[in-house]
Structure 1
Amino acid sequence: MAAANDTATLGPLDSFVGYHMRRASARMSVDFHAAMAETGIRQVVFGVLSVIAANPGINQGQIGKVLGIQRANMVSLIGELTDAGYVSRTTSPEDRRAFVFQLTDRGAAAFADGLARIRLHEDRLLRDLSVGERETLVALLKRIQASGAD
Structure 2
Amino acid sequence: MLRGLRRFFTSLITLLASSVVAVAIFIVQWRIFWAGDGALGVTVNSALLIFEALLLLFALAIVELLVRRAIKLALKVGTVRIGSPEEKQADRVLWHFDLVTTSVIFFWGTFWLPAFAAFFLLEPQWPIYLHGTLLVMAIIGTNWQEHRLERVRQACGYSEGFGRLTP
Q: Which has the higher contact order (CA 8 A, sep 6+)?
A: 2
TM-score by length of 1: 0.31
TM-score by length of 2: 0.29
Higher strand share: 1
